Amino acid sequence: MAGLPEGHIVANSGVKTIAGIRLGTAAAAIKRAGRDDVLLIEMAEGSSCAAVFTQNAFCAAPVTVSREHLPQAPRWLLINSGNANAGTGARGLADAHSSCEAVVALAGGRAEQVMPFSTGVIGEYLPLEKIRTALPKAFEALSEDGWDAAALAIMTTDTRPKTASRTVEIGGHPVTVTGIAKGAGMIHPNMATLLAFIGTDACVDAGTLQDILQRAADRSFNCITVDGDTSTNDSCVLMASQRSQAPRIEPGSHHAEAFQAAVDAVLEELAEAIVRDGEGATKFIRILVEEAASDEEAKQVGKTIAHSPLVKTAFFASDPNWGRILAAVGRAGCAGLDISRVAIWLDEVRIVSGGERDRDYTEERGAAAMQRPEITVRVSLGRGTSSARVLTCDFSFDYVRINAEYRT
C-alpha cells in the first residue's frame, strides 16, 4: 500500500484477515452431518459494531435478540445454518438467549454481548444441545485466518461461498474491509441480505459505523432480488476492531468518504455474488432505470421488472417477449407517466421507443441479446434526472425443484 494515493482502493485477491477479529467453525449436524454449520466470531475488546435487520414482521427469534444486544458493546457473534429459529414463539426466544449464555460460559463476558444469527428451515425449534456440543470446537478454532471456513459454514442452498476484501489508504495507513455472505433464495432484502458479516480494522465509533453500513446496504443489498421474498432472518453486521494505525473515521470527513467507498465495494461484490448464485439461475440481469422523477421511483420501476415471474421466465427461455417488460414498467406506479417518452433496451438493442416497438427492432436482434448469460435491461422514463440499478436473475426449472425439495 505504500505510496498509494489517499482513498485508493485495492481489490484483494483472496480474503485478507482483520486484526482483532477471529472466527471459528464446527460441525453440529443441525441439518446434515459432515459439514461445519456453526460459526463463532470474536471481536477484540473495544471493537464497535453496527447491524441492519429484516423488516419482516415475523422476524426470527435471533433477530429479536440481536437487536436487543446490539447496543451492549457486542464481543461475539454466534451463527448457525440449517435451522432458522423463526416462527418458534417464546421457546425460540428462550433458545436464542440460551445460545448466548453457552458462548459466554466458554468465553467469559455477559450474554448481552453475544448476537445470535440463524438461517435455514422456518418453524422448527433450534437444536440447542447440538449447538452447545459443537461450541467448544468452534471456540478452540478461533483464528484471524478463519474467514474462508466461515463462508462455507453459513451456506444453505448456496452453491459456493461468497467472500470479498478491499484495502483503502487512509491518512497514509491501510484500512482493510473483509466480508462474507450467504444467500441464494428468499432474496428480496428489505434491509440487507440473508446473512452477511463484514469486518474492518478501522477506528470508528458505533454510531458512525451504523450510518456507513446503512448507506452501503441501501446501495447494494437493498437493490437485489432473486424471488421477491423478504426473509425472516435477514441480518448484516459490520464490525470494527479499531486496530488500524489510520486516523479515526469522523462523520463528514474525507476519511469517511474513502472508508464508505471501501465498505460499499465489499457489499456490492457480495450482493452481486448472491444474485449470480440465485437458486437455479442461468442468467444474470442488470436493470438500469434512468431519467426517473426520483431515486425511489427509479428503484421501484427496477424492482417491478425484477420481481415479475413472467419477465424472469422469459429470460430463462431467451425469449425477447418485450411486452412483459413494458407491462411491468406500466404497473410500477409512476404517477402521470408519459409513455411516449419511454424507451427500453436489451443491451445495445432498443426494443421500445415512444411507448411502442422501436422501428428498427427485429425479433432476431432481440433473441440474440437474450441468449447472453449476462444481460442489461435499460429503461429511460424521460421525466427526470434520477436513476437506480437493480440486480436479479431468471426463474428456471431448477428454482422450482430446489424450493419444492427444500425440506426433504
| Catalytic residue set | 193
Reading the block at residue 67, the C-alpha cell is 437487536
Reading the block at residue 121, the C-alpha cell is 428451515
Cα–Cα dist 147/302, whole Å:
33
Dihedral sign for Cα 1, 166, 283, 370, please.
negative
Instruction: Report the 10 Å Cβ neighbour count for 242.
Output: 19
Coil, strand or helix: which one is 236? strand
Residues paired with residue 9 on neighbouring β-strands, in sequence order: 168
Q: What are the backbone angles phi and psi of residue 327, rounded to the nearest 5°?
A: -65, -40
In one letter, which amino acid is 406?
Y
Q: Give the 3-state DSSP-derived string for 6-32, with helices as H, strands as E and coil as C.
A: CCCEEECCCCCCCCCEEEEEECCCCCC
* Nearest CA among 186, 373, 188, 185 for reference residue 280: 185
Return all residues near 288 (Cβ < 8 A) that are at least 6 apart. Answer: 302, 376, 377, 378, 379, 387, 388, 389
* Nearest CA among 76, 86, 82 for reference residue 28: 82
